[in-house]
């Protein structure tokens, strides 16, 4: 029998269930947020590729009831039971995406987060190109909507134009970190780029 690339019901999967979190990925944003003091109470945050809502649960706790959060995804996100979060089914690659996002949350934002990931095809170059395209869209949103001093977190697959993307983030933010959170599955080629202190 072929070896499975990962054990689905692993430590973080069980921990997420125990803590009422929608996805094990919640631990990734939690780790990044704590390590770099990303969020503050009352902030505005955009979460791209937000379904089922694990990141959103952590972000809502971080920004508290005075914060404002928007989460968008191709898939619908079940209600989170908080008045200060809006979710919408949107395709970030659509021509009118920036406009739709602006309608949901007008004005400058403190933090843009992207956990966008393409459906993988198994063809490495295709998956890399799609991942980098999605991360590039997130960076554009951060560039146009982020407040000076704000932060950016984006997932992307390692390889391909990774160095160029890091340079692109560096052009917008004073500091850039590359993080592979503990909750990342061993077989995964994903990494997070963290842009700190927008210029």
Catalytic residue numbers, as ranges: 155
60 binds ligand SAM (CB under 6 A): no
- The verdict on 127 binding ligand SAM (CB under 6 A) reads no
CB of 166 to ligand SAM, least distance (A): 21
Q: What are phi and psi of 95, to 5 degrees?
A: -60, -35
Give how many residues touch ligand SAM by CB under 6 A.
22
- Given 7, 10, 34, 74, the residue binding ligand SAM (CB under 6 A): 74
Q: Cis ω on the peptide bond leading into residue 102 (within 30° of 0)?
A: no
Q: Give the whole-angstrom CA distance, residue 38 versus residue 196.
A: 8
Q: Which of 33, 46, 50, 141 binds ligand SAM (CB under 6 A)?
A: 50
Could you give the CA distance from residue 192 to residue 41 in angstroms, rounded to a whole number? 23
**Token pair for residue 155?**
């997932």
Q: Which of 22, 143, 151, 198 binds ligand SAM (CB under 6 A)?
A: 22
Q: How far is the CB of 100 from ligand SAM (least distance, A)?
A: 11
Bridge partners for 73 per DSSP: 89
- Bridge partners for 111 per DSSP: 45, 151
Q: How many helices (H) and strands (E) does the chain have?
A: 6, 7
Could you tell me which stretch among 6-14, 18-26, 100-108, 176-184 binds ligand SAM (CB under 6 A)?
18-26
SS3 137: helix
- Does 69 help bind ligand SAM (rule: CB under 6 A)? no
Q: CA torsion sign, 167 to 173 to 177 to 178?
A: negative
Residue 158 within binding range of ligand SAM, rule CB under 6 A: no
Q: Binding of ligand SAM at residue 54 (CB under 6 A)? A: yes
* Dihedral sign computed on CA atoms, order 148, 153, 176, 128: negative
Q: Does 53 bind ligand SAM (CB under 6 A)?
A: yes
Q: Of the two residues 120 and 144, which places its CB atom closer to ligand SAM in the complex?
A: 120
Structure tokens at 95: 């021509």
User: Which residue of 12, 16, 23, 143 would you call a contact of ligand SAM, by CB under 6 A?
Assistant: 23
Residues engaged in binding ligand SAM (CB under 6 A): 22-23, 25-26, 49-55, 73-75, 91-93, 115-118, 134
């Amino acid at each position: 029998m072929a070896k499975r690339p990962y054990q689905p019901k692993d430590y973080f999967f069980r921990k997420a269930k125990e803590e009422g979190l929608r996805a094990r990925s919640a631990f990734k944003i939690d780790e990044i947020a704590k390590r770099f003091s990303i969020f503050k109470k009352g902030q505005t945050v955009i979460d791209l590729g937000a379904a089922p809502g694990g990141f959103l649960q952590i972000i809502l706790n971080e920004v508290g009831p005075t914060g404002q959060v928007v989460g968008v995804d191709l898939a619908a996100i079940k209600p989170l039971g908080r008045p200060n979060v809006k979710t919408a089914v949107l395709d970030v690659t659509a021509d009118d995406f920036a406009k739709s996002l602006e309608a949901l949350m007008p004005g400058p934002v403190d933090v843009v987060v992207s956990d966008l990931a393409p459906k993988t095809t198994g063809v490495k170059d295709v998956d890399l190109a799609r991942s980098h395209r999605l991360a590039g869209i997130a960076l554009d949103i951060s560039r146009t909507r982020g407040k000076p001093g704000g932060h950016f977190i984006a997932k992307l697959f390692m390889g391909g134009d990774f160095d160029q993307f890091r340079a692109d983030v560096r052009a917008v933010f004073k500091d850039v970190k590359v993080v592979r959170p503990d909750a990342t599955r061993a077989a995964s080629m994903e990494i997070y780029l963290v842009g700190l202190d927008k210029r």
